[in-house]
Amino acid sequence: MNKRSYLSTILIIVFLFSLTSIQWNKELFHSGGGETLLQIIKSLFQPDLSISTLLLALKSAWITLAYAVTGISLALLIAFILGILASGVLFNSGFGRWLSFGVFRGTLSFMRAIHELVWAWLFVAAIGLSPFAAIFALAIAYGGALGRVFADILNDVP
């Protein structure tokens, strides 16, 4: 067996062992889960289109759009600054070249290597369940991706 097979076998054994360590009782499951599921299925066929529900949906969509625009705006700011620093345009040789390609490109790689949901979990743990956690998670993940694009574009400029 190769290393991947060993690792897969170990992970499956750990997963199965974790299932045996759970106390399977009534408290583990949500007591109203079945009723909630039936309510969702019923709502799929008979949606509530009252004015109050539509206004709530419109308000919620507007808030979501505002958070997304704020997150992407912050991502563009991060990407602009780190993209220029990571491109090597400012530093041509020596320590500056190492700094731009080592530190700043490494920072951009780290930022985009972690999924935005993981960033969100980290920020929720750090600052609580607030809109800022979502905004910062979007800003960091997409700032890293856009910064890499900006750096590559600037590298191609003579």
Examine the pLDDT at 59 and tell me if it is beyond 90: yes
Q: What's the CA gap between 104 and 144, in Å, rounded? A: 10
Q: To the nearest whole number, what is the mean pLDDT of the chain?
A: 87
Q: Are residues 41 and 56 in the same domain?
A: no
Same-domain pairing of 43 and 55: no
One domain, residues 70 and 27: no
The pTM of this model reads 0.69
Give residue 28's pLDDT: 65
pLDDT in tens, 14-52: 888 887 877 777 666 667 778 888 998 998 999 888 999
Residue 96 token pair: 């500056």
* 43/57 same-domain check: no
> Are residue 63 and residue 25 in the same domain, yes or no?
no
Please check whether residues 23 and 92 belong to one and the same domain.
no
Mean pLDDT confidence for 142-155: 92
Kindly state whether residues 73 and 138 are assigned to the same domain.
yes
**pLDDT tens profile 67-92:** 999 999 999 999 999 998 888 777 77
For helices 116-127 and 131-155, give the axis angle rounded to 10 degrees.
Answer: 140
Range of the domain at 16: 1-47
34 in the same domain as 11: yes
For the stretch 93-115, pLDDT in tens is: 667 677 777 788 899 999 999 99
Give yes or no for residue 133 having a pLDDT over 90. Answer: yes
Same domain, 31 and 96: no
Q: By the 8 A CB rule, do 112 and 141 touch?
A: yes
Name the CA radius of gyration of the chain, rounded: 23
User: Higher-confidence residue: 119 or 155?
Assistant: 119
pLDDT for the residue numbered 66: 96
Give the chain's domain count: 2
Residues 62, 39 share a domain? no
29 & 55 share domain:
no
Residue with the larger pLDDT of the pair 154 and 75:
75
Mean pLDDT of 6-20: 87
41 with 83, same domain: the answer is no
Mean pLDDT of 111-139: 92
